[in-house]
Amino acid sequence: MLSGKTILLGITGGIASYKICELIRMYKRANADVQVVCTPNALNFVTKLTLQTLSKNNVAVEEFDIKNYNPEHISFADKADIMVIAPATANTISKIATGVADNLLTSIACAFTKPVIIAPAMNCHMWENPIIQENLRKLSCTVLEPESGYLACGYLGKGRLCKIEKIFDKTAEILNYKPLTGKKFVITSGGTFEDIDPVRYISNYSSGKMGVALADSAKNLGADVTLITTKDVSKKYNVIKVKSALDMKDAVMREFDNADCVIMAAAVADYRVKETAPQKMKKTDEDEITLTLVKNPDILSELCSLKARGQEDKKTGYIACHHDIRTSYPLVVGFCAESENLIEHAKEKITKKGCDYLIANDISRKDIGFSSDYNEVTILDKNGGMKKLERADKMTIAYQILEEIF
């Protein structure tokens, strides 16, 4: 996603420095060239060898380690498209704000004329210090404020480095990587809720995190996004809250005609109660209770059927439902969650459903999938192709999926 872009990544001496290893991996997965510059104190928290191995570049630390006629702080500043300083300590922030250039990183920052992102991390009292806040206001850059939580010093307060995904997203946004501009994405997320009575329901363990990550990623890449979800989500793009499988079907069908891509990441219940009780069902003396379940509509199959029928109509010249024949039809992407024989079941499902791509999840593992912030998936396509995406945070997986399918 970031091919041809050079990111100058400054790391300062804070405990959150170890987290930047994952940020480097995310940048590299997006094909960016990453040049790491550390303050000497940063190497007390993360090793130079680790950073060089991940970035595939030498790590710069010393200010006067000049290999050619170009002063390093100027050559680095000229080469990079953006500078990211994370974590940024109170010390480094104050130096940059007041023009102090006493190490390589601060010298580069003083000479850097392109976009700069600073992600502070420090003790909560340091963050609240009026001098630090005044220095932050002096900076002509994007500041990603720290988050609240337990700090390494033992305090509870605002000072934790913001999420790595937020730094990555802001980097991509500033570099104006918008390959999906003009495309409409409809994405579903969360497990549906099928009422038994006014207080009970049938559902599943889906958190909706993967669908939201896909929606966030598509939005960041320029798409017009509609997220149809069973969860409470507040976003800057269009969010439609639904409850049951029938609700979700209605919402998806309303959005289908204008979509360029529909991604069915939701865990839609296969069955619902045939007759929902209008009042709360009372406990009886019986040891057992019987609920009659009926099949829910298969939304993915119906979307694929609509697409196939429309494409056939286009071939024959038949105009269905008095509408003009579409020049193109949405890309339809399904998800499958399996606890055994993942690839076998996924191959059967993509053939049966007829979707363009199928994302296969292994829900038997505890370190990925439902409720986890991480995932590992295999992408299958309708032509028999298959690609495995190794375990990573769900935002990284989401970007990789979008890169693969569009």
* Rounded-to-integer distance, Cα 135 and Cα 145, Å: 14
Residue 320: is its pLDDT beyond 70?
no
Give the CA count within 13 Å in the CB-facing half-sphere of 382: 12
The yes-or-no verdict on residue 326 having pLDDT over 90 is no
What is the total residue count of the chain?
A: 406
Q: Cβ(215)–Cβ(185) under 8 Å?
A: yes
What pTM value is reported for the model? 0.68
pLDDT, residue 329, reads 81
Cα-only R_g, the chain: 25
**Tell me: the pLDDT tens digits for 70-89?**
555 577 888 899 999 999 99
Please determine, for residue 312, whether its predicted confidence score (pLDDT) is greater than 70. Answer: no
CA dist list (Å): 268 to 118, 125, 183, 300: 41, 46, 25, 10
Quick one: average pLDDT of 240-248? 98
What does the pLDDT read at residue 72?
57
> 211 with 190: CB under 8 angstroms?
yes
Task: Tell me how far apart the alpha carbons of residues 223 and 176 are, in angstroms, rounded to a whole number.
Answer: 13
Q: Between 320 and 148, where is the model more confident?
A: 148
Query: Is residue 169 classed as helix, strand or coil in its secondary structure?
Result: helix
Q: Is the pLDDT at 370 greater than 90, yes or no?
A: no
Q: Tell me: the pLDDT tens digits for 184-200? A: 999 999 999 999 999 99
What is the pLDDT at residue 225? 98
Q: Is the pLDDT of residue 65 over 60?
A: no
CB distance 269 to 245 below 8 Å: yes
Identify the H or E element spanning 261.
strand 261-264
Q: How far is CA 159 from the centre of its chain?
A: 23
* Letter string b/e over residues 88-110, b meaning 16 or more CB atoms within 10 A of that residue's CB: bbbbbbbbbbeeebebbbbbbbe
CA 293/CA 67 separation, integer angstroms = 73
- The whole-angstrom separation of Cα 90 and Cα 339 is 48
> What is the pLDDT averaged over residues 309-334?
63
Whether 24 shows a pLDDT value over 50: the answer reads yes
Q: In this model, does residue 366 exceed pLDDT 90?
A: no
Mind listing the pLDDT tens digit for each residue in 153-178?
788 889 899 999 999 989 988 887 78
Could you give the percent of the chain with pLDDT greater than 70?
93
At residue 169, the pLDDT reads 87
What is the chain's mean pLDDT, rounded? 90
Residue 321 has pLDDT above 50, yes or no: no
Range 255-266 average pLDDT: 95
pLDDT at 363: 87
Q: Write down all domains in the chain, each with its CATH number in brackets.
A: 6-174 (3.40.50.1950), 184-405 (3.40.50.10300)
Residue 187 amino acid letter: I
Residue 220 near residue 183 (C-beta atoms within 8 A): no
Q: What is the pLDDT of residue 3?
A: 82
Instruction: Give the whole-angstrom CA distance, residue 389 versus residue 392.
Output: 8
Catalytic residues: 153
